[in-house]
Amino acid sequence: MANEANIGSVNRQVDNTGLVSESSSKLEWAQIAPGKVVVANSQRAWLYQPQSQSDRFARPMDCAGSFATTKKLLDTAIAAAKVAVKSDSRPPALTTTRWIWRLASAYHLTSPASRLFTDAAVGFAANGRSNLESWALEKVEEETGHDRLALLDIKSLGYDAEAIVEELKPPAAIALIDYFTRSVQDDDPIDVVGYAYTMERLSLGIEQDYIDKVESLIPPEINATRCLRVHSSIGADAGHANENVEVIAKLSASERTRIARACYETALMLFSPPPGGYISDDELQEVLEPLKVN
């Protein structure tokens, strides 16, 4: 559930110097877009633009991974997407109405997740990757039931939850699930790992103060942050992100490169404003009003 609470911190991940420290004995790198390479060591990471085909970082990465460098690589790929978007557009101020919109988004992101991770496990098994098959099956267990939390939150606010999610289909959530689905259907579903890491990593930016902000908009007797708490720094995602890095760091260089690129592509969708602009509170209210439940 990415929002303004968790995108500010990623800006600090990118160092644009483009210089390689001579003391860096361990490096990982990945081309995340044409002419754009992320280079990482255990201390820092930066964006780099290769000057020629003979440039070391113009060639595919050929080294083993480690927890520290792989984490820097992935986190900076995510941060690079925020820099690339370069948009002055800001989400509308958070209101109770707007919170229902975000809960609808959370529902659409979580509803197909268990099924898609199950399909990804089948794809990994077909490629003889038992480690990633096990990883995907773990994700099935972790994600099961999260869509019901979003529905419960909407219902707690006094609305027909099933009707709300049928009417409200936030474009960003739909685009992300389309990407997730295409990744699963690929002959090699490795991009799924990058998608999952990005979603869980950005959840860590949601801290208690943001949860308090949401709850300040809602009567104290109403619980409408169940789904948010699970996908936050105080929920299950806090441990999942590092667990993902431990798995990814053991993969081949080509696999880690694809995962870093998938992190960048996923984050681009998360950070980009809707092409048609944000739906207004008035438009939202028109949809919500008939769906109130006594």
Evaluated on CA atoms 187, 190, 193, 195, the torsion sign reads negative
* Adjacent-strand bridge partners of 167: none
| Residue 248 burial (CB count, 10 A) | 25
Report the candidate in 77, 110, 84, 87 with the shortest Cα–Cα distance to residue 262: 77
Distances from the Cα of 52 to the Cα of 45, 56, 58, angstroms: 21, 9, 7
Other Cβ atoms less than 10 A from the Cβ of 15: the count is 14
User: Architecture of 96-291 per CATH?
Assistant: Up-down Bundle (1.20)
Angle, helix 253-271 to helix 237-248, in steps of 10 degrees: 150
- Taking only the tens of pLDDT, the chain with its 294 residues reads 444 443 344 444 444 433 344 334 589 999 999 999 999 999 999 999 988 887 889 999 989 999 999 999 999 999 999 999 987 778 889 999 999 999 999 999 999 999 999 999 999 999 999 999 999 999 999 999 999 999 999 999 999 999 999 999 999 999 999 999 999 999 999 999 999 999 999 999 999 999 999 999 999 999 999 999 999 998 766 678 889 999 999 999 999 999 999 999 999 999 999 888 899 989 999 999 999 997
| Residue ranges per structural domain of the chain | 4-85, 96-291
- Which pLDDT score, from 0 to 100, does residue 238 have? 67
Is 269 in contact with 176 (CB distance < 8 Å)? yes
- Token pair of 249 as six digits: 């760091």
For 31, the token pair is: 């081309």
Q: What is the pTM assigned to this prediction?
A: 0.90
- For residues 198 and 266, the answer to whether their CB atoms sit within 8 Å is yes
pLDDT of residue 15: 41
CA dihedral 6, 162, 170, 168 (to 10 degrees): -130
Strand 36-40 relative to strand 28-33, pairing: antiparallel
Q: Quick one: pLDDT at residue 21?
A: 41
The pLDDT score that the predictor gives to residue 236 is 67
User: What is residue 237's predicted lDDT score, i.e. its pLDDT?
Assistant: 62
pLDDT confidence of residue 25: 52
Say which residue the tokens 């019901």 belong to.
148
pLDDT score recorded for residue 71:
96
